[in-house]
Amino acid sequence: MPSCPSGHHSTATDFCDTCGLRLQAYSPSPPPQPYRPPPPTSPFPPQAPPRTPAPRRPSAAPRGGPCPECTTSRTGRFCEECGYDFASQPDSPVRRHSGPGEAPAAAQWRAVITADPAYYQYMVDQGMLDPAQISFPAMNRQRRVNLRGDRLHIGRRSASRGFTPEIDLGGPGGDPAVSHIHAILVAGPDGTWAIVDPGSTNGTMINGTANTIPRKVEVPLNDSDRIYVGAWTVIIVQKG
């Protein structure tokens, strides 16, 4: 039944007979809820769950060590004694060796080796050799070597070391100013070639005689480049 907001008893159903206020519809109040104490709180702040440590990656094997060819202590990429290229080790990412049975690269390269009288005269004029001690060879025999494999050594055979380079410039009538390991021709993964001087005595020059190439640095080669070593030797690399 509607009731007066002020608590008056009214016989009317819309406005109070006593004060004239609009009567309000009766709505029973909800029963009181029993008291429930709050849950106990911890005096310590919540902690994050322990983190699982990430698995440790195995440490890489230490690089270096003696040369596998002559046991000389390693000081760089190339062995100071025999010219061994440490990048040729199986675990090295520097260069991938071609395995047996793999198809050769499409481009074929060769080296043409001969004695250059102009280069010899330049060395004499620069005072870098004595013509009375080292004379230009009477027999100028040209030879060709196909460039195959991953690397070819340029130098002179050493009986004491048991080493013979793929391009041997020594022997009877050979170039005496060439070091035993004078330079190394290195194959690239794209079929190109580069040359490295691992530390020769007289240096290596390309397409001229003004400056030697930096040592222990791969220098890319192009078709018909001329490599000068020793007292008179020129090596012309040819593609195709």
Q: Which residue has the higher pLDDT, 185 or 60?
A: 185
What is the reported pLDDT for 32? Answer: 61
The size of the chain, in residues, is 240
27 within 8 A of 3, measured Cβ to Cβ: no
| Residue pLDDT, tens place only, 41-88 | 544 455 555 565 555 554 443 445 677 666 666 666 667 666 666 665
197 within 8 A of 213, measured Cβ to Cβ: yes
What is the reported pLDDT for 140? Answer: 80
Query: Averaging pLDDT over each range in 6-10, 58-62, 93-97, 162-166, which range is the top one?
Result: 162-166
What is the reported pLDDT for 19? Answer: 62
What is the reported pLDDT for 118? Answer: 94
163 has a pLDDT exceeding 90: no
Residue with tokens 């793999």: 102
What is the reported pLDDT for 52? Answer: 58
> SS3 of 233, please?
strand
Q: Which residue has the higher pLDDT, 24 or 146?
A: 146
Q: What's the Cα-to-Cα distance from 81 to each of 102, 107, 198, 228, rounded to whole Å?
A: 32, 32, 10, 22
**Amino acid making up residue 235:** I
Nearest to 185 by CA among 115, 129, 109, 107: 109
Report DSSP letters for 12-64, one per residue: -SSB-TTT-PBPB---PPPPPPPP-PPPP--SS---PPPPPPPPPPPPPPPP-
Report DSSP letters for 165-213, one per residue: -SEE--STT--TTS-TEEEEEEE-TTS-EEEEBSS-SS--EESSSS-PP
Average pLDDT, stretch 227-237?
A: 96
211 has a pLDDT exceeding 70: yes
What is the reported pLDDT for 107? Answer: 77
- Dist CA 93 CA 89 (whole Å): 9
What is the reported pLDDT for 147? Answer: 96
186 has a pLDDT exceeding 90: yes
Average pLDDT, stretch 199-210?
A: 89
Note the maximum CA span of the chain. Answer: 148
Residue with tokens 């008291």: 35
What is the reported pLDDT for 47? Answer: 53
149 has a pLDDT exceeding 60: yes
122 within 8 A of 231, measured Cβ to Cβ: no
18 has a pLDDT exceeding 60: yes
Average pLDDT, stretch 135-149?
A: 91
Whether the predicted model's global pTM rises above the 0.75 cut: no
| Residue pLDDT, tens place only, 79-119 | 766 666 666 554 444 344 445 555 454 579 999 999 999 99
Average pLDDT, the chain: 77
- Dist CA 62 CA 77 (whole Å): 15
